[in-house]
A and B are shown apart, each in its own frame.
Chain A
Amino acid sequence: MKSEISRRDILGGLGAVMAGLATLPLARTAKAAVQKLAVSANAPKGYDPTQHRWVMGIDINRCIGCGICVEACKTENHVPMGRNYFRTWIERYIITKPKPGTGAARGEVLVESPDGGMHGFSDLPVPAADVLHSFFVPKLCNLCEHSPCVQVCPVGATFDAPDGAVLIDPEYCIGCGFCIQACPYGCRFLNPFTRTAEKCTLCYHRITRGLKPACVEVCPTQARIFGDLKNAPPEDPIRQFYQDNRVQALKPFLGTDPRLFYAGMDKEVR
Protein backbone atom coordinates (compact mmCIF):
# COMPACT_ATOMS: atom_id res chain seq x y z
CA MET A 1 0.00 0.00 0.00
CA LYS A 2 1.33 3.39 -0.95
CA SER A 3 1.89 5.92 1.79
CA GLU A 4 -0.65 8.74 1.99
CA ILE A 5 1.94 11.29 3.08
CA SER A 6 3.75 12.89 0.19
CA ARG A 7 7.09 14.68 0.25
CA ARG A 8 5.24 17.93 -0.36
CA ASP A 9 3.16 17.40 2.76
CA ILE A 10 6.24 16.81 4.91
CA LEU A 11 8.04 19.89 3.56
CA GLY A 12 4.94 21.98 4.03
CA GLY A 13 4.52 20.80 7.61
CA LEU A 14 8.17 21.49 8.33
CA GLY A 15 7.77 25.01 6.98
CA ALA A 16 4.77 25.60 9.19
CA VAL A 17 6.70 24.40 12.25
CA MET A 18 9.59 26.74 11.41
CA ALA A 19 7.18 29.64 11.04
CA GLY A 20 5.63 28.74 14.37
CA LEU A 21 9.05 28.66 16.03
CA ALA A 22 9.83 32.07 14.60
CA THR A 23 6.89 33.56 16.52
CA LEU A 24 8.14 32.15 19.83
CA PRO A 25 10.42 35.07 20.75
CA LEU A 26 7.53 37.42 20.00
CA ALA A 27 5.19 35.41 22.21
CA ARG A 28 7.81 35.38 24.96
CA THR A 29 8.23 39.12 24.82
CA ALA A 30 4.48 39.56 25.06
CA LYS A 31 4.27 37.12 27.96
CA ALA A 32 7.09 38.92 29.75
CA ALA A 33 5.34 42.27 29.28
CA VAL A 34 2.04 40.92 30.60
CA GLN A 35 3.77 39.31 33.60
CA LYS A 36 5.64 42.48 34.37
CA LEU A 37 2.42 44.46 34.30
CA ALA A 38 0.71 41.93 36.55
CA VAL A 39 3.40 41.79 39.24
CA SER A 40 4.51 45.40 39.28
CA ALA A 41 1.09 46.84 40.15
CA ASN A 42 2.04 47.13 43.84
CA ALA A 43 5.78 47.15 43.35
CA PRO A 44 7.83 50.13 44.45
CA LYS A 45 8.77 52.34 41.55
CA GLY A 46 12.29 53.05 40.48
CA TYR A 47 14.12 50.54 42.65
CA ASP A 48 17.24 49.17 40.98
CA PRO A 49 18.71 46.22 42.92
CA THR A 50 22.14 46.74 41.38
CA GLN A 51 22.44 50.21 42.94
CA HIS A 52 22.27 49.08 46.59
CA ARG A 53 24.23 46.95 48.99
CA TRP A 54 22.27 46.23 52.15
CA VAL A 55 24.11 45.22 55.29
CA MET A 56 23.15 44.79 58.89
CA GLY A 57 24.94 45.11 62.19
CA ILE A 58 23.97 44.04 65.68
CA ASP A 59 25.27 45.59 68.86
CA ILE A 60 24.94 42.89 71.52
CA ASN A 61 25.63 45.35 74.32
CA ARG A 62 22.48 47.24 73.40
CA CYS A 63 20.05 44.32 73.18
CA ILE A 64 17.69 44.18 76.18
CA GLY A 65 15.87 41.04 75.07
CA CYS A 66 12.42 42.63 74.94
CA GLY A 67 11.41 40.57 71.89
CA ILE A 68 9.62 43.42 70.10
CA CYS A 69 11.71 42.73 66.99
CA VAL A 70 10.65 39.07 66.91
CA GLU A 71 7.01 40.00 67.23
CA ALA A 72 7.29 42.75 64.62
CA CYS A 73 8.97 40.38 62.18
CA LYS A 74 6.19 37.85 62.58
CA THR A 75 3.54 40.51 62.04
CA GLU A 76 5.20 42.22 59.12
CA ASN A 77 6.02 39.06 57.20
CA HIS A 78 3.03 36.94 58.23
CA VAL A 79 5.32 34.33 59.71
CA PRO A 80 3.22 31.52 61.22
CA MET A 81 2.82 31.82 64.96
CA GLY A 82 4.28 28.86 66.77
CA ARG A 83 7.57 28.21 68.36
CA ASN A 84 9.38 26.73 65.37
CA TYR A 85 8.87 29.47 62.85
CA PHE A 86 11.12 32.49 63.08
CA ARG A 87 12.85 34.73 60.61
CA THR A 88 14.58 36.43 63.49
CA TRP A 89 14.80 35.39 67.13
CA ILE A 90 16.69 36.22 70.29
CA GLU A 91 18.89 33.83 72.20
CA ARG A 92 19.89 34.24 75.79
CA TYR A 93 23.38 33.11 76.70
CA ILE A 94 24.09 32.31 80.31
CA ILE A 95 27.65 31.62 81.34
CA THR A 96 27.88 30.18 84.81
CA LYS A 97 30.61 30.61 87.35
CA PRO A 98 33.29 27.92 87.18
CA LYS A 99 33.00 25.04 89.60
CA PRO A 100 35.12 25.76 92.68
CA GLY A 101 38.52 24.17 92.51
CA THR A 102 38.54 23.57 88.73
CA GLY A 103 40.79 26.49 87.93
CA ALA A 104 38.69 27.35 84.87
CA ALA A 105 37.92 30.97 84.18
CA ARG A 106 34.31 30.34 83.24
CA GLY A 107 31.76 27.62 83.75
CA GLU A 108 29.08 26.07 81.61
CA VAL A 109 27.39 27.85 78.69
CA LEU A 110 23.60 27.69 78.56
CA VAL A 111 21.61 28.93 75.58
CA GLU A 112 17.86 29.35 75.52
CA SER A 113 15.26 30.98 73.32
CA PRO A 114 11.75 30.41 74.67
CA ASP A 115 9.29 31.22 71.85
CA GLY A 116 12.19 32.84 70.01
CA GLY A 117 12.31 35.45 72.77
CA MET A 118 9.04 36.87 71.46
CA HIS A 119 7.51 37.18 74.92
CA GLY A 120 10.72 38.11 76.64
CA PHE A 121 12.80 36.10 79.06
CA SER A 122 11.87 35.60 82.67
CA ASP A 123 13.17 32.78 84.84
CA LEU A 124 16.80 31.79 84.82
CA PRO A 125 17.37 28.06 84.44
CA VAL A 126 20.09 28.28 87.10
CA PRO A 127 20.21 30.14 90.45
CA ALA A 128 21.08 33.80 89.90
CA ALA A 129 24.07 33.47 92.21
CA ASP A 130 25.67 30.95 89.82
CA VAL A 131 25.56 33.27 86.81
CA LEU A 132 28.88 34.75 85.82
CA HIS A 133 27.34 36.80 83.06
CA SER A 134 24.42 36.67 80.72
CA PHE A 135 23.40 38.51 77.58
CA PHE A 136 21.04 38.45 74.61
CA VAL A 137 22.00 37.73 71.01
CA PRO A 138 19.53 38.55 68.24
CA LYS A 139 19.79 36.14 65.34
CA LEU A 140 18.68 36.38 61.74
CA CYS A 141 19.95 35.56 58.24
CA ASN A 142 23.69 36.14 58.24
CA LEU A 143 23.69 37.43 54.64
CA CYS A 144 26.55 35.20 53.56
CA GLU A 145 28.76 36.23 50.70
CA HIS A 146 29.13 32.52 49.88
CA SER A 147 25.74 31.18 50.94
CA PRO A 148 25.55 27.42 51.51
CA CYS A 149 21.76 27.63 51.14
CA VAL A 150 22.03 29.06 47.62
CA GLN A 151 24.57 26.45 46.57
CA VAL A 152 22.36 23.50 47.47
CA CYS A 153 19.07 24.68 45.97
CA PRO A 154 18.29 22.24 43.15
CA VAL A 155 15.81 24.49 41.33
CA GLY A 156 17.31 27.98 41.47
CA ALA A 157 14.65 29.14 43.92
CA THR A 158 16.99 30.77 46.41
CA PHE A 159 19.55 33.28 45.31
CA ASP A 160 21.83 36.15 46.24
CA ALA A 161 20.06 39.25 45.00
CA PRO A 162 22.35 41.91 43.52
CA ASP A 163 21.56 44.20 46.47
CA GLY A 164 22.88 41.76 49.06
CA ALA A 165 19.66 40.14 50.27
CA VAL A 166 19.46 36.37 50.11
CA LEU A 167 15.96 35.64 48.90
CA ILE A 168 13.61 32.78 48.09
CA ASP A 169 11.37 32.68 45.05
CA PRO A 170 8.19 31.09 46.46
CA GLU A 171 6.98 30.25 42.96
CA TYR A 172 10.04 28.13 42.30
CA CYS A 173 10.62 26.59 45.73
CA ILE A 174 9.64 22.93 45.82
CA GLY A 175 10.01 22.65 49.59
CA CYS A 176 12.72 19.99 49.50
CA GLY A 177 14.39 21.41 52.58
CA PHE A 178 17.98 21.16 51.38
CA CYS A 179 18.59 24.81 52.18
CA ILE A 180 17.22 24.37 55.69
CA GLN A 181 19.77 21.63 56.26
CA ALA A 182 22.54 23.65 54.64
CA CYS A 183 22.17 26.89 56.60
CA PRO A 184 24.80 26.71 59.35
CA TYR A 185 22.98 29.40 61.31
CA GLY A 186 19.57 27.73 61.37
CA CYS A 187 17.91 30.71 59.77
CA ARG A 188 15.46 28.90 57.52
CA PHE A 189 12.28 26.95 58.11
CA LEU A 190 9.58 25.28 56.07
CA ASN A 191 6.36 27.23 56.11
CA PRO A 192 3.67 24.70 57.06
CA PHE A 193 1.00 26.47 55.01
CA THR A 194 2.80 27.26 51.77
CA ARG A 195 5.15 24.26 52.02
CA THR A 196 8.03 26.44 50.84
CA ALA A 197 11.22 27.44 52.60
CA GLU A 198 11.19 30.81 54.27
CA LYS A 199 13.79 33.13 55.72
CA CYS A 200 14.62 36.73 56.51
CA THR A 201 14.27 38.84 53.38
CA LEU A 202 15.55 41.98 55.14
CA CYS A 203 11.88 42.98 54.73
CA TYR A 204 12.43 43.27 51.01
CA HIS A 205 9.07 44.98 50.48
CA ARG A 206 10.09 47.66 52.98
CA ILE A 207 13.70 48.36 52.02
CA THR A 208 12.72 48.74 48.36
CA ARG A 209 10.37 51.51 49.45
CA GLY A 210 13.02 53.31 51.50
CA LEU A 211 11.85 52.00 54.88
CA LYS A 212 13.89 50.08 57.41
CA PRO A 213 13.24 46.38 58.07
CA ALA A 214 10.52 45.91 60.68
CA CYS A 215 12.91 44.61 63.38
CA VAL A 216 15.22 47.59 62.91
CA GLU A 217 12.28 49.99 62.87
CA VAL A 218 10.86 48.85 66.21
CA CYS A 219 14.07 48.10 68.13
CA PRO A 220 13.89 50.45 71.15
CA THR A 221 17.64 50.52 71.81
CA GLN A 222 19.05 50.65 68.26
CA ALA A 223 20.73 47.31 68.80
CA ARG A 224 20.04 46.55 65.16
CA ILE A 225 21.69 48.79 62.60
CA PHE A 226 20.78 48.64 58.94
CA GLY A 227 22.16 50.50 55.97
CA ASP A 228 23.10 50.67 52.34
CA LEU A 229 26.88 50.47 51.89
CA LYS A 230 26.71 51.77 48.33
CA ASN A 231 24.89 54.98 49.23
CA ALA A 232 25.62 55.59 52.92
CA PRO A 233 27.12 58.98 53.79
CA PRO A 234 29.91 58.95 56.43
CA GLU A 235 27.48 59.91 59.22
CA ASP A 236 25.12 57.05 58.41
CA PRO A 237 24.48 54.71 61.39
CA ILE A 238 25.93 51.73 59.54
CA ARG A 239 29.21 53.52 58.85
CA GLN A 240 29.32 54.72 62.46
CA PHE A 241 28.73 51.14 63.56
CA TYR A 242 31.77 49.89 61.68
CA GLN A 243 33.85 52.82 62.85
CA ASP A 244 32.96 52.66 66.55
CA ASN A 245 33.00 48.91 67.07
CA ARG A 246 35.25 45.94 66.67
CA VAL A 247 32.97 43.62 64.79
CA GLN A 248 32.89 39.90 64.28
CA ALA A 249 30.84 37.45 62.23
CA LEU A 250 29.31 34.19 63.39
CA LYS A 251 31.21 30.98 62.60
CA PRO A 252 33.93 32.62 60.50
CA PHE A 253 35.72 29.28 60.08
CA LEU A 254 32.99 28.07 57.71
CA GLY A 255 34.09 30.48 55.01
CA THR A 256 30.55 31.74 54.46
CA ASP A 257 31.78 35.30 54.89
CA PRO A 258 28.64 36.79 56.46
CA ARG A 259 27.71 40.42 55.94
CA LEU A 260 25.87 40.46 59.25
CA PHE A 261 28.30 41.71 61.86
CA TYR A 262 28.07 41.58 65.62
CA ALA A 263 29.67 44.05 67.99
CA GLY A 264 30.51 43.02 71.52
CA MET A 265 30.22 39.33 70.81
CA ASP A 266 31.38 36.75 73.32
CA LYS A 267 33.51 33.84 72.15
CA GLU A 268 30.80 31.39 73.18
CA VAL A 269 28.26 32.77 70.71
CA ARG A 270 27.79 30.49 67.76
Chain B
Amino acid sequence: MGVFKMPPQIVRLVLLTVAIVGSYLMARTVLTPPSFRQYGWYRGEALVELASRQIVFAGKPACEICHDEEFRKLAKGSHKGLSCEGCHGPSQAHSDDPDDLAVRPKKEPFSTCTRCHEFNVSRPKWHKQIVTRTHYTGDKCTDCHVPHSPTEVP
Protein backbone atom coordinates (compact mmCIF):
# COMPACT_ATOMS: atom_id res chain seq x y z
CA MET B 1 0.00 0.00 0.00
CA GLY B 2 1.35 3.38 -0.99
CA VAL B 3 0.70 6.71 0.74
CA PHE B 4 -2.87 7.96 0.62
CA LYS B 5 -3.44 10.25 -2.33
CA MET B 6 -6.36 12.69 -2.28
CA PRO B 7 -8.56 11.90 -5.26
CA PRO B 8 -8.40 14.78 -7.76
CA GLN B 9 -12.19 15.26 -7.86
CA ILE B 10 -12.22 15.87 -4.09
CA VAL B 11 -9.38 18.38 -4.41
CA ARG B 12 -11.33 20.22 -7.11
CA LEU B 13 -14.48 20.18 -4.99
CA VAL B 14 -12.67 21.58 -1.97
CA LEU B 15 -11.01 24.28 -4.06
CA LEU B 16 -14.34 25.21 -5.63
CA THR B 17 -16.04 25.41 -2.22
CA VAL B 18 -13.26 27.58 -0.87
CA ALA B 19 -13.51 29.83 -3.93
CA ILE B 20 -17.30 30.22 -3.61
CA VAL B 21 -17.30 30.83 0.13
CA GLY B 22 -14.30 33.13 -0.22
CA SER B 23 -15.89 35.25 -2.91
CA TYR B 24 -19.11 35.47 -0.88
CA LEU B 25 -17.21 36.62 2.19
CA MET B 26 -15.25 39.11 0.13
CA ALA B 27 -18.36 40.49 -1.55
CA ARG B 28 -20.04 40.83 1.84
CA THR B 29 -17.07 42.70 3.26
CA VAL B 30 -17.00 45.10 0.33
CA LEU B 31 -20.73 45.65 -0.04
CA THR B 32 -21.82 45.93 3.61
CA PRO B 33 -21.58 49.51 4.84
CA PRO B 34 -18.96 49.89 7.58
CA SER B 35 -21.56 51.00 10.14
CA PHE B 36 -23.94 48.08 9.51
CA ARG B 37 -24.11 46.18 12.86
CA GLN B 38 -22.89 49.15 14.88
CA TYR B 39 -26.08 48.99 16.97
CA GLY B 40 -27.92 46.12 15.31
CA TRP B 41 -29.01 44.70 12.00
CA TYR B 42 -29.05 48.08 10.25
CA ARG B 43 -26.80 50.93 9.18
CA GLY B 44 -25.66 52.92 12.21
CA GLU B 45 -24.98 55.89 9.94
CA ALA B 46 -28.70 56.10 9.23
CA LEU B 47 -29.21 57.51 12.73
CA VAL B 48 -26.75 60.32 12.03
CA GLU B 49 -28.28 60.98 8.62
CA LEU B 50 -31.80 61.21 10.03
CA ALA B 51 -30.54 63.46 12.81
CA SER B 52 -28.88 65.83 10.31
CA ARG B 53 -32.10 67.04 8.74
CA GLN B 54 -32.92 70.73 8.94
CA ILE B 55 -35.17 72.04 11.71
CA VAL B 56 -38.27 74.01 10.69
CA PHE B 57 -39.83 74.81 14.07
CA ALA B 58 -37.38 76.67 16.28
CA GLY B 59 -39.02 75.91 19.62
CA LYS B 60 -40.24 78.29 22.32
CA PRO B 61 -36.83 78.99 23.93
CA ALA B 62 -35.54 80.36 20.61
CA CYS B 63 -38.38 82.92 20.51
CA GLU B 64 -37.68 84.08 24.05
CA ILE B 65 -34.19 85.29 23.11
CA CYS B 66 -35.65 88.35 21.36
CA HIS B 67 -39.34 88.48 22.27
CA ASP B 68 -39.09 88.49 26.07
CA GLU B 69 -41.70 91.28 26.26
CA GLU B 70 -44.36 88.98 24.76
CA PHE B 71 -43.21 86.19 27.04
CA ARG B 72 -43.88 88.24 30.17
CA LYS B 73 -47.34 89.07 28.87
CA LEU B 74 -48.01 85.48 27.94
CA ALA B 75 -46.90 84.06 31.28
CA LYS B 76 -49.68 85.90 33.13
CA GLY B 77 -52.61 84.69 31.06
CA SER B 78 -54.32 81.43 30.30
CA HIS B 79 -52.39 81.11 27.05
CA LYS B 80 -49.15 80.59 28.96
CA GLY B 81 -48.89 76.92 27.93
CA LEU B 82 -49.13 77.69 24.24
CA SER B 83 -46.22 77.41 21.91
CA CYS B 84 -45.44 80.55 19.87
CA GLU B 85 -45.21 78.61 16.64
CA GLY B 86 -48.58 76.94 17.13
CA CYS B 87 -50.22 80.24 16.14
CA HIS B 88 -47.42 82.12 14.42
CA GLY B 89 -46.11 79.28 12.29
CA PRO B 90 -42.68 77.69 11.89
CA SER B 91 -39.92 80.15 12.68
CA GLN B 92 -36.51 78.52 12.42
CA ALA B 93 -35.78 80.55 9.27
CA HIS B 94 -36.83 83.73 11.09
CA SER B 95 -34.69 82.90 14.09
CA ASP B 96 -31.69 82.24 11.82
CA ASP B 97 -32.09 85.60 10.14
CA PRO B 98 -34.41 87.95 12.09
CA ASP B 99 -33.94 90.75 9.54
CA ASP B 100 -35.18 88.77 6.55
CA LEU B 101 -38.70 90.08 5.98
CA ALA B 102 -39.58 87.22 3.62
CA VAL B 103 -39.45 84.61 6.37
CA ARG B 104 -40.92 86.76 9.13
CA PRO B 105 -44.11 85.22 10.63
CA LYS B 106 -47.22 86.86 9.19
CA LYS B 107 -50.03 88.56 11.03
CA GLU B 108 -52.46 85.98 12.22
CA PRO B 109 -55.92 85.76 10.64
CA PHE B 110 -59.24 85.30 12.42
CA SER B 111 -59.13 81.53 11.89
CA THR B 112 -56.18 81.29 14.29
CA CYS B 113 -58.56 81.88 17.19
CA THR B 114 -61.51 79.88 15.90
CA ARG B 115 -59.37 76.91 15.03
CA CYS B 116 -59.27 76.13 18.73
CA HIS B 117 -62.17 78.09 20.18
CA GLU B 118 -65.05 77.54 17.76
CA PHE B 119 -67.65 75.35 19.44
CA ASN B 120 -67.43 71.69 18.52
CA VAL B 121 -69.42 68.98 20.23
CA SER B 122 -66.37 66.67 20.21
CA ARG B 123 -64.21 69.13 22.13
CA PRO B 124 -63.74 68.51 25.85
CA LYS B 125 -65.95 70.63 28.11
CA TRP B 126 -63.10 72.24 30.04
CA HIS B 127 -61.98 74.03 26.88
CA LYS B 128 -63.42 77.54 26.30
CA GLN B 129 -65.50 77.54 23.14
CA ILE B 130 -67.75 80.05 21.38
CA VAL B 131 -70.17 80.01 18.49
CA THR B 132 -68.82 82.87 16.39
CA ARG B 133 -72.17 83.80 14.88
CA THR B 134 -73.82 84.43 18.24
CA HIS B 135 -70.70 85.49 20.13
CA TYR B 136 -69.75 88.65 18.26
CA THR B 137 -70.86 90.25 15.04
CA GLY B 138 -67.91 92.63 14.80
CA ASP B 139 -64.80 92.35 12.72
CA LYS B 140 -61.95 90.94 14.74
CA CYS B 141 -61.40 88.88 17.88
CA THR B 142 -58.77 91.41 18.89
CA ASP B 143 -61.49 94.07 19.24
CA CYS B 144 -62.18 92.61 22.67
CA HIS B 145 -59.33 90.15 23.41
CA VAL B 146 -55.58 90.41 23.68
CA PRO B 147 -54.31 87.14 22.20
CA HIS B 148 -51.24 87.02 24.42
CA SER B 149 -53.41 87.60 27.48
CA PRO B 150 -56.99 86.59 26.58
CA THR B 151 -58.79 87.81 29.70
CA GLU B 152 -57.39 91.33 29.36
CA VAL B 153 -59.50 93.94 27.52
CA PRO B 154 -57.52 96.06 25.05
Q: Which residues of A contact B (CB under 8 A)?
A: 21, 24, 28-29, 31-32, 35-36, 39-44, 47, 49-50, 61-68, 72, 75-76, 92, 94, 120-122, 124, 128, 131, 134-136, 156-162, 167, 169-172, 201, 204-206, 208-209, 211-212, 214, 217-222
Contacts and interface: CB of A to CB of B under 8 A. Distances in A.
Contacts of B86: 68, 72, 217-220
Nearest to B34: A32
Contacts of A222: 81
Contacts of B47: 49, 161, 167, 204
15 contacts: A32-B35, A39-B45, A41-B52, A43-B48, A62-B124, A65-B123, A76-B55, A124-B121, A156-B41, A159-B42, A169-B49, A172-B43, A204-B51, A217-B57, A219-B83
Contacts of B54: 42, 205
A160 B34 CA distance: 19
A162 B51 CA distance: 14
A160 B39 CA distance: 10
B82 interface: yes
Interface residues of B, number: 43
Interface of B: 26, 29-30, 33-36, 39-43, 45-57, 59-60, 81-83, 85-86, 90, 115-116, 118, 120-124, 126-127
B25 to A, nearest CB: 10
Contacts of B50: 167, 201, 204-205
Contacts of A121: 120, 122
Contacts of A65: 120, 122-123
B52 A43 contact: yes
Contacts of B59: 206, 211-212, 217
Given A35-B34, A134-B121, A214-B56, A72 B49 contact: no
Given A32-B35, A209-B55, A220-B116, A39 B122 contact: no
A40 B48 CA distance: 6
A64 B29 contact: no
Contact of B55 (A29, A157, A211): A211
Contacts of B35: 32, 35
Contacts of B55: 76, 205-206, 209, 211
Nearest to A24: B29
Contacts of A221: 81, 127
Contacts of B51: 43-44, 47, 204-205, 208-209
B120 to A, nearest CB: 6
Contacts of B120: 64-65, 120-122
A131 B52 contact: no
Given A32-B35, A122-B120, A205-B53, 10 more contacts: A29-B34, A40-B52, A67-B115, A136-B123, A205-B52, A205-B54, A205-B55, A209-B55, A211-B59, A214-B56
